[in-house]
Structure 1
Amino acid sequence: MNGLFMENIYKSFGDVNVLNGVNFHVQKGEVHALLGMNGAGKSTLMKILAGDLSPNEGTITIDGIEYQFSSPSDAKKAGIGLVVQEVDTALFPSLTVYENIAADDIVETKRRPFLSWKQQKQRSEELLRQVGLSIPLNKLIHECTLHEKQLILLAKVLSSSARYIILDEPTAPLSETETKRLFDIMKQLKSQGVSFIYISHKLKEVKEICDRVTILRDGTVVHRGDVSQLSIEDMIRHMVGRSYETRKKETRTYSDQVIFEVKHLLIPKTNTTVNLQIRQGEIVGIAGLVGAGKTELAESLFAHTKTTGEWFIRGKRYTFSSPKEAIEAGICFIPEERRKQGLFMSETVRTNLTVRLLSSLTKGQWVIKRKEAEVAQQLIETLHIRPSSPHALVKQLSGGNQQKVVIGKWLQTNSDVFIFDEPTKGIDVNAKAEVFSIIRSLADKGKAILYLTSEFQELLDIADTIYVMVDGQLVKRFLAKEVTYEQLIYYSSGGDFHGTTSPFINKEETNVISS
């Protein structure tokens, strides 16, 4: 019996049932999409398959052999590979690229007394070439970009000869070119009998690359079948349990008063300078492809990296040398890598939500627990965080709920400037709508919002003004209501922004403003 079968899988955490008799079947040589809203049970099901968790009930059969995994090592030996969404949790930051790819072989040297480093480097180079990545083998992981780490991890999984590879939001950090390369690799491996379990909220990609789909809702399978038989609207309907209608962009008004401005801000990693201003209540978007320098800009604005320039908040001039100084002046930062930079993963929801408010929750050197609990519960209810217990560990929350916690810790700080770097990465359509609602409410209160993303449709849905970033520079500025998706793609891809009209721009249009 060829293929992977997970049958009657049940899993609960305390009194919370997460999986309720799930049946999941992957055929040999197919790309099988696993879909569902955040909290539907996808991650738990895959953690069971990868050996990170044990089910309360159920069986796993792979190519006719029944397995009981007690560790990730057991799953790996059975042919299961995992490319996680948060790649930093699966790589050794202080080791080199080739040492990470060869890590499993290095661990096995006790059983194999001789390890050829030359052969390991040759093998690593071959695997990197296979995933379309050309970087020095001796480069340290912590020096690599996010999309480089993603491809390195894929190369590492391929080195283990996995037959069933789990891809969790694999294209989130990838450019369109890198995504196409990944899909070409998947198709090549598919023809060799390798199967993929593809988890993504990018449903257009699911339609493009996947053969079959299983959809979970509330820990139960609500649909399985061929992807070709489902429209994107059908997928969303199964995921949320109702029809999904695209929200029409609201006409927003905001003040003419500039409350946040930077002049000659140096972005060290791109060696470029930026001038930018945001008015009171305005949502400004930064559109750029992966590698354009968006995260580097956000980190410089927050003084996360050593930089120079002038900041102006409500007319007052600042120069910052640390994030602490930026926070004290009223700047908040919601980073792209929320697990690494935005949360204390092993702490509770309450601790994470109140960490920025400790000065107002203490008496002497003691935290007033009652007051802390009240503030946390209020934020949980306001943000609709699930589960609603303030004592739940953040690492047990879905990606969408984790993101709400990252945002929530800033909401009662009376800050003026909110910087969002890829805030909807890895979250579903419902959680995305809730994040949008939070951002709009902040803007309605007069906050200055900066929204950086490679998801251009999001900017068209939420932003008032959009800048295009290419190679660390802001090359174009648009009013969001007067620009199209195609125009953003054109200029972000390096279209001539020095005067030549884009083929996507009507000759009569005159409202495109160079920054």
Structure 2
Amino acid sequence: MNGLYMNNIYKSFGTVNVLNGVNLHVQKGEVHALLGMNGAGKSTLMKILAGALFPDKGTITIDGEERRFSSPADAKKAGIGLVVQEVDTALFPSLTVYENIAASDIVDTKQKPLLSWKQQKHRAAKLLRQVGLSISPNKLIRECTLHEKQLIVLAKVLSSSARYIILDEPTAALSETETKRLFTIINDLKAQGVSFIYISHKLKEVKEICDRVTILRDGNVVHHGDVSTLSLEEMIQHMVGRVYTTVQKEARTYSDDILFKVEQLRIAKTGTTVDLEIHKGEIVGIAGLAGAGKTELAESLIAHTKATGEWWIDGKRYTFSSPKEAIAAGICLIPEERRKQGLFLDETVRTNLTVRLLSSLTKWQWVLQKKETQVAQHLVDVLRIHPPFPQAVVKQLSGGNQQKVVIGKWLKTNADVFIFDEPTKGIDVNAKQEVFSIIRSLADEGKAILYLTSEFQELLDIADTIYIMVDGQLVKRVSARDITYEQLIYYCSGGDLDGTAGRFDRQEKASAISS
């Protein structure tokens, strides 16, 4: 019996049932999509398969042999590989690329103290070429970009001869070109008999790369079958349990007064200079492909990375040399890497939500825990964080609920300028709408919102004004009502800014992007 079978898998945490008799069958040489809303049980099921959790009940059979994993090492030996979404957690930043790829071999060869580093470098270079990376094996991980790290983790998994590879949001940090390259790699490995479990909220990608699909809702399998038989709308309907309709963007009004402005902001990482402005209550989007410089802009605006220029907040001029100064002036950043930069993962929801408020929650340097809990519970209720318990540990929350916590810690501060960098990365359709609702509420309060993303449809759904970013520069500013999805792609791909995009059809624009 070839293939991977997870049969009748149950898992509970205390009184909360997370998996209720889940069945998953992955054939050899296929890409199998695992879909579901945040909190549906996908992560728990995959942690069981990867040996990080033990099921309360159920069996795992791989190529005809029943397996019981007591550790991730056991799962790895059985041919299970995992490419995590938060790739920084899987790499050693102070080591080189080839040392990271060879790390597992080093651990596994305790009885062989003499290793041929020359051979390890050669092997690493071969694996890097296999995943389409043309970087030196001697490069330090901390010097690599996010998308390079993603592919390095894949190379590391391939080095262990994994036969069943779990890909968790594999394209979240990749550009369109890099995504196509990854799909080519996946198809090549499929032809060699390697199987993939593909977890993604990008349903168009699921339609493109996946063969079959299993959909979870509330810990139960609600659909399984061929991907080709489902439309995107049907996928969403299975995931949410009802017919899903997109929220139509309502016309918004905002103040004529400029709340936030930067002039001649010099961004050291990109070597570019930008000017932008946001009115009170305005949602301004920055549209750019992966690598356009959006994160570098966000980090410069809050002085996390070196930048020079002038900041203006509510008519007052500032220059900042540190995030502390920018935060004190009323700027906050919801970062792209929420788990790495936005949360204390091992702490509670309460601690994370109140960390910016400690000065108002202390007496004689002691935290007033009752008051802290009341504030946290109020934010949990307002943000609809699930589970609705301030004492819950943040790392156990779904991605969408973690994002709410990152946003929530700023809601009761003096922040007037909210910078969102890829705020819906790795969260599901419902969670996106909840994040959108929070952002609109902040704008309605008169806050200045800057929304940076490579998800262009999101900008058309939520933004009032859109800046086009290409190679670190803001090259065009338009009303969100006056631009189409296709034009956004065209302009962000470096197309002419004279309005000719409207005369290009989809095929021509797709060709322009791919070239």
TM-score normalised according to structure 1 size: 0.97
Q: Give the superposition deviation at 1:112.
A: 2.9
> What is the aligned partner in structure 2 of residue 446 from structure 1?
446
Q: Does 1:317 align with 2:330?
A: no
Deviation sequence 1:203-238 (CA, Å, 0-9, x none) = 000111111000000001111111011111111011
Q: Which has the larger displacement, 100-109 or 80-89?
A: 100-109
Could you tell me how far apart the structure 2 residues matched to 1:286 and 1:49 are? 39
Could you tell me how far apart the structure 1 residues matched to 2:121 and 2:499 are? 46
Change (3 A) 1:503 1:482: closer
> What is the aligned partner in structure 2 of residue 43 from structure 1?
43
Mapping for residues 9-24 of structure 1, pairs under 5 Å = 9-24=9-24
Unaligned 5+ residue runs, structure 2? 506-515
> What is the aligned partner in structure 2 of residue 495 from structure 1?
495
> What is the aligned partner in structure 2 of residue 219 from structure 1?
219
Could you tell me how far apart the structure 2 residues matched to 1:131 and 1:481 are? 40
Change (3 A) 1:10 1:504: farther
Q: Does 1:88 align with 2:66?
A: no
Unaligned 5+ residue runs, structure 1? 507-515
Aligned residues: 505
Change (3 A) 1:242 1:500: closer
Q: Which amino acid aligns with 1:384?
A: R
Deviation sequence 1:14-47 (CA, Å, 0-9, x none) = 1111111111110001000000000000000000
Q: Give the superposition deviation at 1:504.
A: 4.5
> What is the aligned partner in structure 2 of residue 59 from structure 1?
59
Q: Which amino acid aligns with 1:292?
A: A
> What is the aligned partner in structure 2 of residue 512 from structure 1?
none
Q: Give the superposition deviation at 1:116.
A: 1.4
Q: Give the superposition deviation at 1:248.
A: 0.8
Aligned-partner SS, 1:433: helix
> What is the aligned partner in structure 2 of residue 511 from structure 1?
none
Change (3 A) 1:18 1:100: same
Deviation sequence 1:301-340 (CA, Å, 0-9, x none) = 0100122111000000111111111110000100000000
Mapping for residues 254-273 of structure 1, pairs under 5 Å = 254-273=254-273
> What is the aligned partner in structure 2 of residue 434 from structure 1?
434
Q: Which amino acid aligns with 1:420?
A: F
Q: Does 1:475 align with 2:475?
A: yes
Given that 1:128 and 1:134 are in contact with CA atoms closer than 8 Å, whether structure 2 keeps it comes out as yes
> What is the aligned partner in structure 2 of residue 373 from structure 1?
373
Given that 1:467 and 1:476 are in contact with CA atoms closer than 8 Å, whether structure 2 keeps it comes out as yes
Q: Which amino acid aligns with 1:446?
A: G
Could you tell me how far apart the structure 1 residues matched to 2:160 and 2:494 are? 38
Could you tell me how far apart the structure 2 residues matched to 1:140 and 1:416 are? 38
Taking only aligned residues, the RMSD between alpha carbons, in angstroms, comes to 1.1
> What is the aligned partner in structure 2 of residue 421 from structure 1?
421
Q: Give the superposition deviation at 1:500.
A: 6.9
Q: Give the superposition deviation at 1:132.
A: 1.1
TM-score normalised according to structure 2 size: 0.97
> What is the aligned partner in structure 1 of residue 229 from structure 2?
229
Q: Which has the larger displacement, 124-133 or 78-87?
A: 124-133
> What is the aligned partner in structure 2 of residue 141 from structure 1?
141
Q: Does 1:251 align with 2:251?
A: yes
Could you tell me how far apart the structure 2 residues matched to 1:434 and 1:2 are? 42
Q: Give the superposition deviation at 1:503.
A: 4.6
Q: Give the superposition deviation at 1:256.
A: 0.9
Could you tell me how far apart the structure 1 residues matched to 2:454 and 2:132 are? 21
Could you tell me how far apart the structure 2 residues matched to 1:35 and 1:176 are? 21
Deviation sequence 1:250-296 (CA, Å, 0-9, x none) = 10000110010011111111111111110000000000000000000
Aligned-partner SS, 2:43: helix
Moved over 3 A (4+): 503-506
Given that 1:19 and 1:45 are in contact with CA atoms closer than 8 Å, whether structure 2 keeps it comes out as yes
Aligned-partner SS, 1:189: helix
Could you tell me how far apart the structure 2 residues matched to 1:39 and 1:500 are? 44
Could you tell me how far apart the structure 1 residues matched to 2:503 and 2:462 are? 21
Could you tell me how far apart the structure 1 residues matched to 2:178 and 2:49 are? 27
> What is the aligned partner in structure 1 of residue 383 from structure 2?
383
Given that 1:487 and 1:505 are in contact with CA atoms closer than 8 Å, whether structure 2 keeps it comes out as no
Deviation sequence 1:398-445 (CA, Å, 0-9, x none) = 000000000000011131100000000000000000000000000000
Percent of residue pairs identical = 80
Could you tell me how far apart the structure 2 residues matched to 1:404 and 1:196 are? 30
Could you tell me how far apart the structure 2 residues matched to 1:503 and 1:242 are? 36
Could you tell me how far apart the structure 2 residues matched to 1:185 and 1:504 are? 34
Mapping for residues 111-122 of structure 1, pairs under 5 Å = 111-122=111-122
Could you tell me how far apart the structure 2 residues matched to 1:153 and 1:403 are? 24
Aligned-partner SS, 2:476: strand
Could you tell me how far apart the structure 1 residues matched to 2:266 and 2:80 are? 45
Aligned-partner SS, 2:307: coil
Could you tell me how far apart the structure 1 residues matched to 2:442 and 2:366 are? 31
> What is the aligned partner in structure 1 of residue 169 from structure 2?
169
Aligned-partner SS, 1:386: coil
Mapping for residues 63-78 of structure 1, pairs under 5 Å = 63-78=63-78
Aligned-partner SS, 1:264: strand
Q: Give the superposition deviation at 1:115.
A: 1.6
Could you tell me how far apart the structure 2 residues matched to 1:171 and 1:219 are? 25
Given that 1:486 and 1:504 are in contact with CA atoms closer than 8 Å, whether structure 2 keeps it comes out as no
Q: Give the superposition deviation at 1:111.
A: 2.8
Q: Give the superposition deviation at 1:109.
A: 3.1
Could you tell me how far apart the structure 2 residues matched to 1:136 and 1:323 are? 33
Aligned-partner SS, 1:263: strand
Given that 1:338 and 1:406 are in contact with CA atoms closer than 8 Å, whether structure 2 keeps it comes out as yes
Aligned-partner SS, 1:243: coil
Change (3 A) 1:505 1:276: farther
Could you tell me how far apart the structure 2 residues matched to 1:465 and 1:108 are? 54
Q: Give the superposition deviation at 1:170.
A: 0.3
Change (3 A) 1:84 1:73: same
Q: Give the superposition deviation at 1:364.
A: 1.8
Aligned-partner SS, 2:109: helix
Mapping for residues 89-104 of structure 1, pairs under 5 Å = 89-104=89-104
> What is the aligned partner in structure 1 of residue 397 from structure 2?
397
Given that 1:282 and 1:449 are in contact with CA atoms closer than 8 Å, whether structure 2 keeps it comes out as yes
Aligned-partner SS, 2:173: coil
Could you tell me how far apart the structure 1 residues matched to 2:240 and 2:61 are? 30
